[in-house]
Structure 1
């Protein structure tokens, strides 16, 4: 009786067989994906379907100002409502006296009338020792207690991130309910001349990356104050 000899496959042959099988599976999967994409493209004419909002997740605030104050204070922001420009100036004097501000920066000419003569503004030589930066903003978002700023102002991006204290002077007309509303108004304002940067700020800078310990002012101002006037 003769015994049949079996030939064992070498590792090289095994690797080739496995490679061919893997390639066939990969090619089949790729062909399936391409087929589905082509089918979707023909069905939708290459366009994404329009977003359909079946229901509002959050109801529209009845009072934009009170909603903004509530949400802003939840994230450790400070809000002071002022009746007019003079009241804003008085509030700045009180803050400066209370916190001993002596190196304040404001680079926006439209805001200079709000700043009383008793507050001496710093110059570029004092920039690195700045204590407070005063800026305007684009919009106030009530539902999230956020402030939208952009680089379109004279101070650019510097005063939004560098000083330990960031003071924002805003008008009640800048209040909007939701982020969608802020984006729509921002786009309408600048249209084809968009600023190079726009940021939504929600409260003072904070991080808890290191051992889950909350640290304020790690990446920007540790105090955020909004003065809102009529």
Structure 2
């Protein structure tokens, strides 16, 4: 077993995506970024989405060496996205076996962390609502680190627990998750409930893909899966 098992959140642990008004969030996030001087080129290059726009703005500001004004603006941009996440998180249902795999990993002595582009407050709210108390850390967007596919948040989790990359694994559902694991040098397990999702992970280079956290637990021979 691994010393540290890291998990993405949305569509890996909980089905948050369909419960969030992402389009409505863009109508708030984009005007805010324009008001603080984000260039038209950014919005033309990223015409849809909130997380890509947020991360694109972060990357642009770092490239222009504007760190002094980055922290405050990123915090506010993240909070805009957080509000729409929180509006839907109570409706998000767990994937099959998601809560159980976190609990049994903890029981076997492994450390667990959520590494996600969502806000840590959103994740903690879902855990509290669903009675999950078995995660050692949440590394979320509010760290202001680069979002996946950058390996930054995975590296932060490894550093928090002083764990070598060979002793850790990351579980996720997206191409960005695959690339982040590859860049970080940790083993990747994919969660893909549909054939199309599985095909996307395969195309990104994932080799071990499972239909749910429950089938992953069975593959890892965890006690709950055996029973």
- Answer 1 or 2: which has greater helix percent: 2
Q: TM-score, normalised by structure 1?
A: 0.26
Q: TM-score, normalised by structure 2?
A: 0.27
- Answer 1 or 2: which has greater strand percent: 1
